[in-house]
């Protein structure tokens, strides 16, 4: 039988701490502890409760990282929303808002992603949420490039993402920097340069399917901009295969009748028929 989220939360966040308190209380009573022994037992109980809280936080981060890695925006958003609604302490909200933005980006909902990023309250160079600034910056670049804000994406990339590459020269960080730079270059019109950044990584089997799907999606958009429709279609199909629940390939919206009529009028005015 599958437990509901409310029941799981009760056992996890309420029943377990109460059980720990009862166990330590029973231990103190049955051991006839007095004075220093009771104080030490209380200190150890506090340490155990803090460790339990830390374990729960780490478990949420692990689950969120897994959902992002495999490209599951609905489940990732549900996890972040659920934790935000249940938490008593607000000191962990920064990470959850970043997870929300990542989920919205995977679902091609940049407006909601922008709101989540703003709610995170991260400012470049400030101490608040410093450990989350790299993921925030990567999500911000993704959000801005989805709405065509190439200048804003370039600023975020250079002020937040790039500095982390020198401070934390790890393989995962370098890949994130390459992906962000590819998004920025593509938004600026440099499709060839963007393609050169992501093409070497798309077949790296060490990456999760969600990460590879995003690289294939960028590759597809680059090939479309370069006029290679066959390669673009193949890359788009691979992105959908790797992350079927994510919306990484943004289909062009059909032009309205009014726009079509206006474009035709402009074309006729620019190229009048011979009399």
- What pLDDT score does 38 carry? 78
Low-confidence ranges of the chain (pLDDT < 70): 1-3, 5-6, 8-9, 88-92, 125-129, 169, 250-275
From CA 213, how far away is CA 43, in angstroms rounded? 48
Rounded CA Rg of the chain: 25
Q: Which residues contact 238 (CB under 8 A, 6 or more apart)?
A: 202, 213, 216
Class of domain 68-268: mainly alpha
* CA count, 13 A, side-chain hemisphere, 200: 8
Give the global pTM.
0.77
In the prediction, which pLDDT does 121 show?
A: 85
The answer to whether 120 and 133 have CB atoms below 8 angstroms apart is no
Given a contact cutoff of 8 angstroms between Cβ atoms, the answer to whether 141 and 183 are in contact is yes
pLDDT at 274: 47
**Which residue in 166, 112, 154, 160 sits closest to 132, CA to CA?**
160
pLDDT for 215:
93
Q: Over the stretch 201-244, which tens digit does the pLDDT of each residue have? A: 888 878 889 999 999 999 999 999 999 999 999 999 999 999 99
- C-alpha span between 94 and 120 (Å, rounded): 5
The confidence score (pLDDT) of residue 273 equals: 46
pLDDT at residue 180 in the model: 94
């Amino acid at each position: 039988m599958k437990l509901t989220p409310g029941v799981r939360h009760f056992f996890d966040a309420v029943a377990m701490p109460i059980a720990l308190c009862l166990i330590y209380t029973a231990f103190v009573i049955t051991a006839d502890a007095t004075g220093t022994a009771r104080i030490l037992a209380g200190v150890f109980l506090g340490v155990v409760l803090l460790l339990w809280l830390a374990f729960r936080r780490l478990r949420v981060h692990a689950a969120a990282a897994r959902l992002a890695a495999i490209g599951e925006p609905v489940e990732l958003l549900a996890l972040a929303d659920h934790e935000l609604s249940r938490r008593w302490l607000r000191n962990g909200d920064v990470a959850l808002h970043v997870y929300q933005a990542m989920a919205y980006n995977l679902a091609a909902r940049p407006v909601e992603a922008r709101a989540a990023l703003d709610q995170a309250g991260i400012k470049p160079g400030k101490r608040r949420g410093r450990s989350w600034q790299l993921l925030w910056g990567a999500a911000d670049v993704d959000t801005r490039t989805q709405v065509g804000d190439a200048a804003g994406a370039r600023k975020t990339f250079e002020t937040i993402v790039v500095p982390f590459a020198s401070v934390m020269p790890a393989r995962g960080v370098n890949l994130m920097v390459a992906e962000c730079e590819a998004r920025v270059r593509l938004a600026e019109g440099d499709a060839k340069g963007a393609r050169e950044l992501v093409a070497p990584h798309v077949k790296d089997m060490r990456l999760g399917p969600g990460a590879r799907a995003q690289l294939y999606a960028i590759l597809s958009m680059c090939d479309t901009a370069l006029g290679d429709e066959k390669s673009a279609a193949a890359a788009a199909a691979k992105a959908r295969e790797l992350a079927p629940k994510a919306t990484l390939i943004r289909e062009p919206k059909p032009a309205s009748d009014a726009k079509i009529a206006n474009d035709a009028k402009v074309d006729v005015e620019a190229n009048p028929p011979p009399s």
